[in-house]
Amino acid sequence: MGQSNTKKKKRAVYIPPAKQKKGNGALIWLTIALAFIAVVIVLGINNSSKNASKPYAFEYSELPRLGQEDAPVKIVEFGDYQCPACKNFSETVKPSLVKDYIDTGKVSLYFANYAFIGEDSETAAIAAESVYRQNPEAFWAYNDALYANQGEENKGWVTPDTLVQIAKDAKIDVDYDKLLSDINAGAGRDKIAEYSKLAEFTLRVGGTPAVLIDGKQVKFNSYNDIKAAIESKLNPPTPKENG
């Protein structure tokens, strides 16, 4: 059998004016909503870019400091006492910073907690905060002692008694009963949480140790990377004059 050449006429469908208007109105509102979302996304991206490029204004006076207060370059290290890379920073990078820049008055080093690995991270940070509040001059010695005695992550090496014993063994000049009491009470937990949130949500440092030089994060693989960033601050390039 052959195909039929007769075409059926399509039947027109009547759409009442009220329904037409409702459909067009919904389309218009959908278009407006999508345009608004697009604008919000673009503004958010622009603001994120601006914030990422803008140095963060730290309250340096509330952080433990190593070096002179008026040093021209200020470094903030975000660390976690359970972090193996932070231990390495403390034992290999910091001594070079002290020798090359801190002892010469060119750089001051500050420490901020980013206690994100686990509960033991926060407990160790509380102990360090207690030492800092009791005797700011003793903070860095205790900081070094904590890293020197670092155990495996979340394996129970961080206990109140152990943290006090670390202080005793390192001859940290604080009241040990007060230190134990602060650890058990969680003294300073709010401040630790504040800086941990700052690191994660505002600065988005991504991990530890994180180094910010004059409020801007510096990505580094070795001490030489940090050294180069410091030198660029101490000896900024001279703008070339147009000939």
Closest residue by Cα to residue 98 from 112, 113, 111, 108: 108
Closest residue by Cα to residue 222 from 232, 234, 237, 211: 211
- What pLDDT digit, counting tens, does each position of 143-187 carry? 999 999 999 999 999 999 999 999 999 999 999 999 999 999 999
Query: What is the number of alpha carbons within 13 Å of residue 74 lying toward its C-beta?
Result: 20
Higher pLDDT, 108 or 35: 108
Pairwise CA distance, residues 8 & 194, whole Å:
74
Pairwise CA distance, residues 103 & 107, whole Å:
8
- What pLDDT digit, counting tens, does each position of 65-116 carry? 999 999 999 999 999 999 999 999 999 999 999 999 999 999 999 999 999 9
88 φ, ψ to 5°?
A: -65, -40
Domain locations in the chain as residue ranges: 19-49, 60-234
Closest residue by Cα to residue 228 from 205, 207, 211: 211
Q: Is the Cβ–Cβ distance between 213 and 71 less than 8 Å? A: no
Closest residue by Cα to residue 191 from 135, 133, 139, 147: 133
Chain centre distance of CA 151: 23
% of the chain residues with pLDDT over 70: 77
Strands 73-79 and 65-66: unpaired
**Rounded to 5°, angle at Cα 214 from 123 and 95:** 60
3-state secondary structure of 204: coil
- Give me the amino acid identity at 122: E
Which CATH architecture group holds 60-234? 3-Layer(aba) Sandwich (3.40)
* Farthest-apart Cα atoms in the chain, separation: 106
Closest residue by Cα to residue 158 from 210, 118, 114: 118
Under the banding of pLDDT at 50, 70 and 90, the label for residue 237 is confident
pTM of structure: 0.79
Strands 216-218 and 73-79: unpaired
- What pLDDT digit, counting tens, does each position of 108-126 carry? 999 999 999 999 999 999 9
Under the banding of pLDDT at 50, 70 and 90, the label for residue 239 is confident
